[in-house]
A and B are shown apart, each in its own frame.
Chain A
Amino acid sequence: MDELKYNFAYLDEQTKKTIRRAILKGLSIPGYQVPFSSREMPMPYGWGTGGIQVTSSCIKQDDTLKVIDQGSDDTTNAVSIRNFFKRVTNVQTTEDTNKATIIQTRHRIPEIPLVEKQILIYQVPTPEPFRFLEPSEFETRKIHALKEYGIMHLKLYEDISKNGHISTSYNYPVLVDDNYISAPSPIPKFDNPKMNNNPAIQLFGAGREQRIYAIPPYTKVISLDFEDYPFEATKANAVCQLCGATDSYLDEIIIDNAGGRMFVCSDTNYCQNNLLKKIYNP
């Protein structure tokens, strides 16, 4: 393989600098969507090119990278992004949340609490939380600039009126630092509380939409709700059938041709660590 063809982490230094500037701006205005000029990456947009560009701009030789997709380190998407970075950086990679310094993610926040030295980088398909209410970019910018945020509660109102409860279960809108309403990307609302007051740096990259936003460490992140319909971080009411965890987000998977199903941890590394603990401390 000819890794010498590429600059470290694929992007050239000038591009990384401009992306870092957008990241710094994002960190200083938590939740604000900073436009950046997204580069062509050697994979299609749906593969998380926004997150990949953010990772490229942050990663250093001594970093340890973990890549997850749907909570798992070994889906096609996670494996190819991890291999991509191995090729263009030669940094260490890991599946262990504790050992990672940079975690690029799609759909989940790891179950193990993150710490100060870590950066969590989200691949975001739709950075604008008001997009489904208002297709015009001009109008959504105005909503943010003028803080005309009642319209998001209007959406939750409709949700309750139709379904008897707030049925939004992914990409559940949050208020960051008492200021900007943001889209947490398609994580389950179970993960929303993990965003609040998190010691790690949280960065969000949207490639196609050319936006970067950020949540600095220890920032207040609140999930929107009504006083009489408070936010609930729900998950399937079941136990992981592999490791027995009761506190982790579960996926329901099909296990045989007869349509048999079982609940397992969506965070595969968390599940494996639980199993190892059981084996060594039975």
Chain B
Amino acid sequence: MNMNEIIKITDLTKSFGNIIACSSITLEVYPGEIVGIVGESGSGKTTLLKCASGLYKPDSGEVFFRSDDNYVQNICNISEPDLRQLMRTDWSFIHQNPRDGLRMNISAGGNIGEKLMAIGNRHYGNIREAAAAWLEKVEIDSSRIDELPSNFSGGMQQRLQIARCLITEPKLIYMDEPTGGLDVSVQAKILDLIKKLVEELNIAAVIVTHDLGVVRLLADRVLVMKDGHIVEQGITDQVLDDPHHAYTQLLVSSIIQV
């Protein structure tokens, strides 16, 4: 199968009992592109992300992922070893709560270096050097490499998680409310950091948020979800400055402009 997209979701539906969390969703993401998914709580954003990353099996529809070598895999019927291999190498998942994405009983350096070891790096000095470099990249002093995550503030834990996810330079990252649990002042800095790294490494990203400010800062394109449907999509600035769907207009008008 030939495709230019890095990820392609076609006609995806996922229900829980009689709640249709995602209904006939179609979505393409191109290499290096950042796509935002916005919508109020319960609109199906997290479900869509979990289907896209193989954590949930959709009731119908397909999710295709293309690796660097143009190898296309259907995420909906991938084997668990293949899925885990993808998660170690080609993509990454940044959780809202850093505790879900970090090992809290392992040092900062160990957390960052783990994926390198998982893909077979067996040189302690190299792993440590790479971990220290990534600490600096996410603006944490590398002298703190041996500290446990619990010594760090929430914002720093989130930076640590970002370093842990990006060290293998994945091609795609999924983020679910990555700054949701943080103070507003800290949020802005983390978003800047994500933006900088994603552009620098040319990573494609799908970012789920209820916060239109996050989307405006990060996303090239935005999809608006309501009750499991995509009600509007397009270039971020166009959608946010000139929303067509009544629901989007409501969302946009309710945000406080800063």
| Chain A interfacial positions (CB closer than 8 Å to B) | 146-148, 150-151, 153-154, 157-158, 160-162, 225-229
Most buried by A among B117, B119, B128: B117
Residue of B nearest to A225 (CB): B122
- B113 part of interface (Cβ distance < 8 Å): yes
Cα distance A160–B124 when bound, in Å? 8
The 7 residue pairs across chains A and B that have the minimum distance between CB atoms? A150-B118, A150-B117, A226-B124, A153-B117, A227-B123, A228-B125, A146-B81
* Selected contact of A150 from candidates B81, B114, B124, B125, CB within 8 Å: B114
A146 in contact with B80 given A160-B124, A226-B124, A227-B123 (CB within 8 Å): yes
Cα distance A102–B170 when bound, in Å? 53
A161 contacts B110, C-beta separation under 8 Å: yes
Q: Which residues of B are found within 8 Å of A162, using beta-carbon distances?
A: 146
A161 contacts B114, C-beta separation under 8 Å: no
Cα distance A227–B121 when bound, in Å? 9
Residue of A nearest to B145 (CB): A161
B124 contacts A229, C-beta separation under 8 Å: yes
A154 in contact with B110 given A148-B118, A227-B123 (CB within 8 Å): yes
**Contacts across chains A and B counted by CB atoms under 8 Å:** 52
- B107 part of interface (Cβ distance < 8 Å): yes
* 30 A-B contact pairs sorted by A residue (CB < 8 Å): A146-B80, A148-B84, A150-B118, A151-B114, A151-B118, A153-B122, A154-B106, A154-B113, A154-B117, A157-B109, A157-B110, A157-B113, A157-B117, A158-B106, A158-B107, A158-B110, A160-B124, A161-B107, A161-B109, A161-B110, A161-B146, A162-B146, A226-B122, A226-B123, A227-B123, A227-B124, A228-B123, A228-B124, A228-B125, A229-B124
Residue of B nearest to A224 (CB): B122
Total chain B interface residues with beta-carbon distance under 8 A: 23
Q: Which residues of A are found within 8 Å of B124, using beta-carbon distances?
A: 157, 160, 226-229
- B218 part of interface (Cβ distance < 8 Å): no
Determine how close the nearest CB of chain A comes to the CB of B133; give it in whole angstroms: 16
- B205 part of interface (Cβ distance < 8 Å): no
Determine how close the nearest CB of chain B comes to the CB of A191; give it in whole angstroms: 23
Q: Which residues of B are found within 8 Å of A151, using beta-carbon distances?
A: 114, 117-118
- B208 part of interface (Cβ distance < 8 Å): no
Cα distance A227–B126 when bound, in Å? 10
Contacts A151-B117, A225-B122 supplied; 13 other A-B pairs, CB < 8 Å: A147-B81, A150-B118, A153-B122, A154-B106, A157-B109, A157-B124, A157-B127, A157-B128, A158-B107, A161-B128, A227-B122, A227-B124, A228-B123
Q: Which residues of A are found within 8 Å of B81, using beta-carbon distances?
A: 146-147
Q: Which residues of B are found within 8 Å of A226, using beta-carbon distances?
A: 122-124
Determine how close the nearest CB of chain A comes to the CB of B70; give it in whole angstroms: 25
Cα distance A158–B147 when bound, in Å? 11
Residue of B nearest to A157 (CB): B110
Determine how close the nearest CB of chain B comes to the CB of A139; give it in whole angstroms: 13
Q: Which residues of B are found within 8 Å of A147, using beta-carbon distances?
A: 81
Q: Which residues of A are found within 8 Å of B117, using beta-carbon distances?
A: 150-151, 153-154, 157
Of residues 93 through 127 on chain B, the ones whose CB sits less than 8 Å from some CB of chain A are 103, 106-107, 109-110, 113-115, 117-120, 122-125, 127
Cα distance A126–B31 when bound, in Å? 47
Determine how close the nearest CB of chain A comes to the CB of B233; give it in whole angstroms: 36
Most buried by B among A148, A153, A227: A153
Residue of A nearest to B84 (CB): A146
Determine how close the nearest CB of chain A comes to the CB of B120; give it in whole angstroms: 8
Cα distance A97–B146 when bound, in Å? 46
Quick one: CB contact mask for B24-47 with A, threshold 8 Å, 1 for yes? 000000000000000000000000
Q: Which residues of B are found within 8 Å of A146, using beta-carbon distances?
A: 80-81, 84
Determine how close the nearest CB of chain B comes to the CB of A256; give it in whole angstroms: 43
Residue of A nearest to B80 (CB): A146
Q: Which residues of A are found within 8 Å of B127, using beta-carbon distances?
A: 157
Most buried by A among B118, B122, B125, B128: B122
Cα distance A148–B109 when bound, in Å? 19
Cα distance A227–B128 when bound, in Å? 13
Q: Which residues of A are found within 8 Å of B118, using beta-carbon distances?
A: 148, 150-151
Q: Which residues of A are found within 8 Å of B115, using beta-carbon distances?
A: 150
* Selected contact of B114 from candidates A154, A225, A227, A229, CB within 8 Å: A154
Cα distance A157–B122 when bound, in Å? 10
Residue of A nearest to B146 (CB): A161
Cα distance A158–B110 when bound, in Å? 6
Cα distance A250–B124 when bound, in Å? 30
Cα distance A175–B110 when bound, in Å? 21
Cα distance A150–B118 when bound, in Å? 4
Quick one: CB contact mask for B132-148 with A, threshold 8 Å, 1 for yes? 00000000000001100
Cα distance A150–B128 when bound, in Å? 15
Q: Which residues of B are found within 8 Å of A228, using beta-carbon distances?
A: 123-125
